Amino acid sequence: MNRLEAVNDFVVKFANVNGSGSASANELFAKAILRMGVPVSPRNIFPSNIQGLPTWYEVRVSERGWLGRRGGIDMMVAMNPQTWDQDVREVQPGGYLFYDSTRPLPPESFRKDITVVGMPVTAICNATYEDPRQRTLFKNIMVLGALSALMDIEPEVIEKLFGEQYKGKERLLESNVRALHAGRGFAKDHLMSPQQQGLGLKVRRADRVGDRIFLEGNAAAALGCVYGGATVCAWYPITPSSSVAEAFMAYCRKYRHDAQSGRANYAIVQAEDEIASIGMVVGAGWNGARAFTATSGPGVSLMTEFIGLAYFAEIPVTIINVQRGGPSTGMPTRTQQADLLSTAYASHGDTKHVMLLPQDPAECFEFSAAALDLADRLQTPVFVMTDLDIGMNQRLCKPLAWDDSRAYDRGKVMSAEELEAGRDFGRYKDVDGDGIPWRTLPGTHPSKGAYFTRGTTRNPYAVYSEAGPDYIYNVQRLMRKFATAATLVPAPELRAAARKTRLGVIYFGSTAPAMDEALEALAEEGIHIDALRLRAFPFPVAVEDFIKGHDHVFVVEQNRDAQMRSLLINELEIDPEWLIKVLHFDGTPITARYITEAITKHVHALAVAPRRERIVS
């Protein structure tokens, strides 16, 4: 049998039962490899449930630094009998299956083309521990120990991680170390032979991580809100966004208490629903505080009436939309980029909203802080469109950066002095030609600058009016403002192919790491494509230029209806023929293999397959 052999380049998947304590052991596995200088990219695949249902943790190990999902599993650590058949099926030929052999399984439960490694973990734990809780918890650590021996993961690294995790809890530290070594010992004595030193999948110390950091997008977004100066956060729990508010709370407790008084420089309210969350954010934004909420698609649906009000009454609002799968409850613990249209045009009447599209936690940080600035500058709702894949998985990314000389852009707020000096104030008047009016904050001046905010039409001086020309003035000015937004949002990133090509690809958000890898794989096949990563909506001019500069442009996205493609067609009036859909929407993150195959197929179908001499360079 052909055994898969690989060093620092493989995919391991852990199949567990949720609520069994497997998550922290799995994370240790990933982090230990990372500490050995080898990039990893783990993904939680979990159910909407607290205890008892299947959950998976897929770790991609890639010395070359590919952080997207590759597709295919080289080793399955199958600890969940419920999903056994499916898990065994998923292993690549020549791959490995590690399982708990306490209860013998009939031979037909296995495959002949994979290497099976059985360890009676339950039996060992039952013999070692009295306490049933310990029996379960240490099972995971024993497995980790065995894997570390089989795959050459340095035990000292894991011990150091234990030390950090159980700082000040010596008893816990010791028992974990003991369990780790018990697992290692068993593996050495029973699972390895002089001929076969463990598995063909090995980790070898490298230096490919650099100064990169490892964190979840939701935590990064929360930190972006802390750095960006958010003082009011109103939220309602919804997977996969809840950890944004929770992380904001934790960071604020640490970094946002007044040095002298010890009191809070922030206010966080867990509202009764998403409608109240956005209402509070609207109220705070109207009153000059930087405010945000974090939610997911169903939450945005509930918020749409307020989003329309904020758009039309021109109130700064920041909304972090951690997208999940499906309409309705859909796939609440799976990932998609399927809220693009419903967010871009959220609410009744003619509305359009600014969306930022981060690719990883570093951009979640950067764009959340930027969104607070943009919302103030543009006096409108600004959405940070992240997703479950970025938000709830730890991802390797460049270190978070902040320039201390950076000042918050509070936008056009007229001061008491300016009002006193007799400066003309028309709340909805375009005085600068950019469509953005000036505003005043409540309580500013005793006799000047007060106005009545409403969703109803008014004239440029905020006086109620349902006159057609007043309405048209307003909504056309809002269009002008939207055009201004296109010049202020993060610009798209262009990556030119190694050689001149008529093909282009547009992608964004969590697709980025898989796309990076796919582009290289395609280039190796001789398919050269210029790539443009969108980072925001409305589309800056460069996007239209890119499309028009290519004969065919693929649009890769993670939804059924090609929503980004629709936005491009709609906003840029592009001929639909120009844009070729590449869609992935089963709720798992898109893989490099999927993109490569889809684009290759299309390229052949387009009969633009490169000639042989173009491949051989």
Alpha carbons 416 and 418: distance in angstroms, whole number: 6
Q: Which is nearer to other proteins, 153 or 580 (CB)?
A: 153
In the complex, the smallest distance separating the C-beta of residue 218 from other proteins, rounded to whole angstroms, is 14
Instruction: Name which of 51 and 260 has its Cβ closer to other proteins.
Output: 260
Q: Which of 518, 519, 514, 512 is nearest to 493 (CA)?
A: 512
Contact present, 354 and 489 (Cβ < 8 Å): yes
Strands ordered across the beta sheet of 493-495: 493-495, 530-534, 503-508, 552-557, 579-583
Cβ distance to other proteins smaller for residue 46 or 227: 227
In the bound state with other proteins, the residue whose beta carbon lies nearer, of 23 and 271, is 271
Q: Hey, is 258 helix, strand or coil?
A: coil
Comparing CB distances to other proteins, the nearer of 197 and 287 is: 287
CB of 240 to other proteins, least distance (A): 20
Compute the residue count for the chain: 617
Burial of 609 (0-12, 13-18, 19+ CB in 10 A): middle
Q: Quote the tokens at residue 259.
A: 């040095």
Determine the Cα–Cα distance for residues 492 and 232; give it in Å rounded to an integer.
30
Comparing CA positions, the residue from 539, 545, 563, 559 lying closest to residue 504 is 545
Which token pair is 563?
């929503």
Q: Based on CB atoms, which residue is closest to other proteins, 178 or 212?
A: 212
State whether the Cα torsion 586-592-593-599 is positive or negative.
positive
Q: How far is the CB of 424 from other proteins (least distance, A)?
A: 18
Least Cα distance to 30 among 501, 527, 570, 394 occurs for 394
With a CB cutoff of 8 Å and minimum separation 6, the contacts of 110 are 88, 97, 116
- Nearest-approach distance from CB 249 to other proteins, in angstroms: 11
From the CB of 383, what's the least distance to other proteins, in Å?
A: 18
Angle, vertex CA 251, rays to CA 229 and CA 382, nearest 5: 40
**Which amino acid is located at 288 in the chain?**
G
The residues, ordered by sequence, that sit 6+ positions from 492 with a Cβ below 8 Å of its Cβ are 532, 533, 534, 535, 536, 539, 540, 542, 543, 546
Residue 354 Cβ vs other proteins, minimum distance, rounded to whole Å: 20
Cα separation, 540 vs 239, in Å, equals: 32
Nearer to other proteins, 214 or 438 (CB): 214
Shortest spacing between CB 582 and other proteins, in angstroms: 33
Q: Which is nearer to other proteins, 402 or 570 (CB)?
A: 402
Smallest separation, CB 257 to other proteins (Å): 9
User: What secondary structure letter does DSSP report for 288?
Assistant: T
Signed CA dihedral, 365, 367, 372, 373: sign only: positive
Q: Which is nearer to other proteins, 379 or 591 (CB)?
A: 379
Rounded least distance, CB 537 to other proteins, Å: 25
**Closest separation between CB of residue 220 and other proteins, Å?**
9
Q: Name which of 130 and 403 has its Cβ closer to other proteins.
A: 403
